[in-house]
């Protein structure tokens, strides 16, 4: 199928061609028609598959055919994070650049005044995070009664416990009669059920296997004791010379500490999380995209939607508590057809999270021990089965080809454990020790 066949008009086709897209992605082929015809939509699309254009293009098309006499928003796109809102606004501007349609992103952490001013000038597409949208509405700065289409991007997150009260409040501000579109890489069974309360006869589009992680992402886990994770990360960063890696930490404090540890060893690292000001968040992300920052340490704020073109490496310093977040996190790499690597540093305490993740992705993660960092506290085998090499034991290859981990020597402060953890150990599984590891050279 070509873009010409999807019912898009010339200004949009021109912008598509300016963007260098030659043909629609699977989600675009599947979603653009139903969106144009006014149907509700529940789309499961893997991250990085072009889902933003899958809703932005047909919405621009629809708006182009309507008058907007009151200058009130006709399309409302809700997202969980500020970065994602800014990114969608940028996409709407890119695809709408040959139209007169106006898009605006509003989110917290920045002054509300300029947003109010822009809203007064008239907006067609409003992209918003829930909290700031409600503030603007309370201040009478935005009238949502003319919204024809509501889009919930990262819908599973928008409908979960944290956001659902805001979503319910926003629903009350919208007209009853409207088109609703939901996009997400994953839907848990409960969220799927809840989603149907907001949709009427939706077309379901599923361009990926349920909750599967991107095929283009090589996934591996390194078992390691909790107290040695930071040291192992530094070891891997230096050994592999990673020029761009996104590291996920479960806490803001942990992200700050990890960043400090990396900076101390000469790595250009920055942290991005909810305690940073919006200006700091924007700068860290920009610096990372431009290559000024090599390692960006993030909480799950960055796990959704953020598009960093050709990001080669995602590292889970901690496993997420919600298994679907694993899929979102690793979806930051291997986007738009490129390949990527995802490495998880997993300690014994995280065996439950690991089991849940392996259930969601429907396969066990390949385990590769890093020589010199073999854990004292063994990561229990997962019931999920066997590793990719067909080793039914459930894992544990020791990768002797990565060096002996001596780099971090002296900085571990391993206290009671007097054995020299950085001394190369005999491989537990010598048959696999000579295996070339893709991550080591990524």
Question: Is residue 103 a contact point for ligand AMP (CB under 6 A)?
Answer: no
**Closest among 250, 221, 251, 249 to 236, alpha carbons compared:** 221
Which one among 12, 30, 42, 53 touches ligand AMP, defined by CB under 6 A?
53
Q: According to CB under 6 A, which one of 31, 35, 42, 52 is a site residue for ligand AMP?
A: 52
Question: Distance between CA atoms of 186 and 184, rounded to whole angstroms?
Answer: 5
Q: What is the DSSP string of 183-242?
A: EES---HHHHHHHHHH-SSPEEEE-SSTTPPPTTEEEEEEE--GGGHHHHHHHHHHHHT-
> Are 255 and 318 a contacting pair, CB within 8 Å?
no
Site for ligand AMP in 333-372 (CB under 6 A): 335-336
For ligand AMP, the closer CB: 25 or 180: 25
Residue given tokens 């107290």 in the structure block: 227
CB contact at 8 A, 247 and 233: yes
Residue 238 CB burial class (10 angstroms; 0-12, 13-18, ≥19): middle
Number of residues binding to ligand AMP, judged by CB under 6 A: 15
**What is Dmax (Cα atoms) for the chain?**
75
80 binds ligand AMP per the rule CB under 6 A: no
Pick the closest to residue 346 from 186, 227, 221 (CA basis): 221
272 or 384: CB nearest ligand AMP: 272
- Is 399 a binder of ligand AMP (CB under 6 A)? no
Q: DSSP secondary-structure letter at 364?
A: P
Binding segment for ligand AMP among 47-55, 310-318, 376-384, 422-430 (CB under 6 A)?
47-55
Among 48, 223, 364, 400, binds ligand AMP (CB under 6 A): 48
Task: Give Cα 191 distance to the centre of its chain.
Answer: 18
| Count of C-beta atoms within a 10 Å radius of residue 143 | 14
Q: Which is nearer to ligand AMP, 87 or 230 (CB)?
A: 87
CB closer to ligand AMP, 48 vs 320:
48
- Report the residue number, 47 or 341, with the smaller CB distance to ligand AMP: 47
Could you say which of 4, 309, 416, 419 contacts ligand AMP (CB under 6 A)?
Answer: 309
- Binding of ligand AMP by 25 (CB under 6 A): yes
Task: Read off φ and ψ for residue 246, nearest 5 degrees.
Answer: -105, 120
Nearer to ligand AMP, 235 or 335 (CB): 335
Who contacts 271 (Cβ-Cβ below 8 Å, separation ≥6)? 252, 255, 256, 258, 259, 284, 296, 297, 298
Q: Residue 58 interacts with ligand AMP (CB under 6 A)? A: no
Nearer to ligand AMP, 82 or 250 (CB): 82
Please tell me whether residue 303 binds ligand AMP under the rule CB under 6 A.
no
Residue with smaller CB distance to ligand AMP, 340 or 403: 340
Q: How far is the CB of 128 from ligand AMP (least distance, A)?
A: 18
Contact between 307 and ligand AMP (CB under 6 A)?
yes
Selected binder of ligand AMP within 29, 44, 49, 102 (CB under 6 A): 49
Other C-beta atoms closer than 10 Å to the C-beta of 237 total: 23
Per CB under 6 A, does 234 bind ligand AMP?
A: no
Contact between 328 and ligand AMP (CB under 6 A)? no
Length of the chain counted residue by residue = 442
Q: Which is nearer to ligand AMP, 47 or 382 (CB)?
A: 47
Residue 277 corresponds to which tokens in the numbers above?
A: 């000001």
Task: Tell me how far, at minimum, the Cβ of 37 lies from ligand AMP, in Å.
Answer: 20
Binding status of residue 50 toward ligand AMP by CB under 6 A: yes
**Residues lying near ligand AMP in the complex (CB under 6 A):** 21, 24-25, 28, 47-53, 307, 309, 335-336
């Amino acid at each position: 199928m070509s873009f010409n066949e999807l019912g898009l008009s010339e200004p949009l086709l021109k912008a598509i061609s300016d963007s260098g897209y030659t043909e629609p992605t699977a989600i675009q082929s599947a979603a653009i028609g139903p969106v144009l015809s006014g149907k509700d939509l529940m789309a499961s699309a893997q991250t990085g598959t072009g889902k933003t254009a899958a809703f932005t293009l047909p919405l621009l098309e629809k708006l182009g055919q309507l008058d907007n006499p009151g200058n009130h928003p006709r399309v409302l796109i809700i997202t969980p994070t500020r970065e994602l809102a800014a990114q969608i606004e940028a996409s709407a501007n890119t695809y709408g650049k040959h139209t007169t349609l106006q898009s605006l992103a509003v989110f917290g952490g920045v002054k509300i005044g300029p947003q109010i001013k822009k809203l007064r000038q008239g907006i067609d597409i409003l992209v918003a995070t829930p909290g700031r949208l409600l503030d603007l509405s309370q201040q009478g700065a935005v009238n949502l009664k003319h919204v024809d289409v509501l889009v919930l991007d990262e819908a599973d997150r928008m409908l979960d416990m944290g956001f659902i009260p805001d979503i319910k409040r926003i629903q009350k501000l919208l007209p009853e009669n409207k088109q609703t579109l939901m996009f997400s890489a994953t839907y848990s069974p409960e969220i799927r059920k809840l989603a149907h309360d907001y949709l009427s006869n939706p077309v379901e589009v599923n361009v990926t296997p349920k909750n599967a992680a991107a095929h283009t992402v090589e996934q591996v886990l390194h078992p390691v004791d909790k107290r040695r994770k930071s040291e192992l990360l530094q070891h891997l960063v230096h050994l592999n010379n990673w020029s761009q890696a996104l590291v996920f930490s479960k806490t803001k404090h942990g992200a700050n500490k990890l960043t400090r540890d990396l900076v101390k060893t000469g790595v250009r690292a920055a942290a991005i999380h909810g305690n940073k000001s919006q200006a700091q968040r924007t700068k860290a992300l920009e610096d990372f995209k431009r290559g000024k920052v090599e390692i960006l340490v993030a909480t799950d704020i960055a796990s959704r939607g953020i598009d960093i073109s050709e990001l080669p490496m995602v590292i889970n310093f901690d496993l997420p508590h919600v298994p679907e977040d694993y899929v979102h996190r690793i979806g930051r790499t291997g986007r738009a057809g490129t390949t990527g690597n995802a490495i998880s540093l997993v300690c014994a305490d995280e065996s439950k999270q690991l089991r849940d993740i392996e259930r969601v992705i429907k396969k066990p993660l390949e385990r590769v021990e890093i020589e010199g960092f073999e854990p004292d506290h063994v990561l229990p085998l997962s019931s999920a089965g066997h590793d990719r090499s067909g080793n039914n034991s459930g894992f544990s290859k020791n990768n002797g080809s990565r060096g002996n981990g001596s780099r971090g020597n002296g900085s571990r402060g391993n206290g009671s454990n007097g054995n020299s953890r950085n001394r190369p150990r005999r491989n537990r599984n010598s048959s696999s020790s000579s295996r070339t590891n893709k991550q080591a050279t990524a």
